[in-house]
Structure 1
């Protein structure tokens, strides 16, 4: 009976594992018709979004939340493919890593990525009608979700990505790019004991809602030894390969350091009381042992006399 039970459990485990592997290996092609415009903030954030020669640098804003999702709003130019690397663990759903894709923009041939055009797009009341597909693939053991547009678009591309439960978030940049994290209202980061942020942001500010904003400028240019390993372009100039940067942040409530301090004080006081009582009880027992030994030894001495 036990052998049959073990055999059934092993078969069930193999079926579950095989089902998961098949789901990872076979790309999922689907159309996402849901477009909820009100779920996003199309803020015209163009901080260092143009280089010295006036070329546009893709700008990505991640609106972090307390739950298992993050809202992403990217400003792109002539982009036909968005590569999303979702963060997953046992708490994240297997399906729906990316949802509610909304585009406020136009076909790249019909517009330019200027502050004026982006301002018009940000105030649009209807999403741009563009066909796209969402596919999944596993590359080097890491799941990727690709949003592929029928035609290259310029403007705002927003989507919701799932993330593990908790107040941690990581993102791998694609330089050159400008990356902004917007923490939930009432949250902060940077405390070495509670929540760290790596690397340190290039800029920190608070928006009109009182939310903390962290900004990184992930430049493509490099100097020194990295130039030696660059590639040569057809015109003979050295080209620097993009070097991704891992950004990780752990955020917590503004009152968390104070609460941690109070909890530490209470635990410390309790530990001190326990230790003091232990020492007092130990001294009492030692004194009691000495008194008993004296009472036993003294009568023996008198008896010998």
Structure 2
């Protein structure tokens, strides 16, 4: 009996291990990424001493289907990417697309604004070798980018999302996390949508886009995911205009009802007076 149970446990272990092995696979990107399609901002967090830190910026495009992620990495050899296909977007075969890496080996470069400005003006992707693997960890799909050695520079790719006005993502291993909303969209109204957890700072960039900032060291351990619900700037105005129009309609209806009621009461009084007059006339004739 013990031997039989041992065989069953071994069989289950083999099945489990084979399933785990099958889930992990290497990703091959067929086409090189388009460098010019991304914004490579050297984010300094308003620091006077111009120090840099690992930063991830998500640019939500106007179609609300694609989101561009641009990582400013410093001395990193591995990056974890969480595609949002669990929310209805993305592809199992192509979890990321338009992949671009403008990086240099950390041991031959200096992580300062000048280096990143030079890399942002590059016309060719780096020749650093890398591997992309996809795996399922604790029920979540994870894409791991690995370089042969630590690198410094920009890493960019595009994620496909469900196309709703809600963007949810796992907190990456970056000190600064930024979300740039499409032009003409905002967040922060509790009726129409807010960001959870609350961002550390909210600004408007030169193009009029609302930009949200989170600082990882200031976030609690439970806040593993960030969700941003956004809406058009005109949505509150149209909403309140509709409310005012509805209230005005109600006032008009009540006014007409009150007027009609008074007219009916006047007619009823006249009718009652005529009826009373006729009764008096009948009694007099008798």
> When the two structures are superposed, what TM-score results if normalisation uses the length of structure 2?
0.73
2:213 corresponding residue in structure 1: 215
Task: State the shift of 1:71 in Å.
Answer: 0.5
Who is 1:253 aligned against?
A: 232
Extract unaligned runs of 5+ from structure 1.
Answer: 1-21, 223-241, 290-294
What is the CA distance between 1:130 and its match in structure 2? 2.5
Distance 1:90 1:153, change over 3 A: closer
Instruction: Give 1:113 deviation, angstroms.
Output: 1.5
Aligned counterpart, 2:12: none
Q: Which residue of the partner structure matches residue 98 of structure 1?
A: 96
Give the superposition deviation at 1:50: 10
Match of 2:34 among 33, 36, 44: 36
> Equivalent residue of 1:260, what SS?
helix
CA RMSD of aligned residues (A): 3.6
Kindly indicate whether the alpha-carbon contact (under 8 Å) linking 1:169 and 1:248 is maintained by their aligned counterparts in 2.
yes
User: Matches of 2:67 and 2:133 in 1, distance apart?
Assistant: 19
Alignment of 1:156-167 (within 5 A): 156-167=154-165
Deviations 1:155-214 (A, max 9, x none): 111111111211111233246611111111111111111121223322222222121211
Query: Residue 82 of structure 2 aligns with which residue?
Result: 85
Q: How many residues get paired?
A: 257
Is the aligned partner of 1:192 residue 2:186? no
Superposed displacement of residue 271, structure 1: 4.5
Q: Given that residues 37 and 102 in structure 1 are in contact (C-alpha distance below 8 angstroms), is that contact kept between their aligned partners in structure 2?
A: yes
Contact 2:55 2:174 survives alignment (8 Å): no
- DSSP 3-state at the match of 1:124: coil
Matched, 1:110 2:89: no
- Which residue of structure 2 lines up, in the alignment, with residue 205 of structure 1? 203
1:115, distance to aligned residue in structure 2 (A): 1.9
Q: Residues 175 and 220 of structure 1 are in contact (CA less than 8 Å); yes or no, is this contact kept in structure 2?
A: no
Look up the SS of the partner of 2:26 in the other structure: coil
The aligned counterpart of 1:262 is 241
In 1, distance between residues paired with 2:208 and 2:176?
Answer: 21
1:62 aligns with 2:41: no
Superposed CA deviations along residues 105-160 of structure 1, whole A, max 9, x for unmatched, are 21222223222212211221221123333322222222222222333321111111
Unaligned runs of 5+ in 2: 1-18, 269-274
The Cα of 1:285 is off from its aligned counterpart by 9.8
DSSP-derived class of the 1:266 partner: helix
C-alpha distance in structure 2 between counterparts of 1:271 and 1:154, whole Å? 63
Q: Secondary structure at the match of 2:85?
A: coil
Greater C-alpha Rg: 2
Q: Following TM superposition, by how much is the alpha carbon of 1:103 offset from its aligned partner in structure 2, in angstroms? A: 0.9
Structure 1-normalised TM-score? 0.69
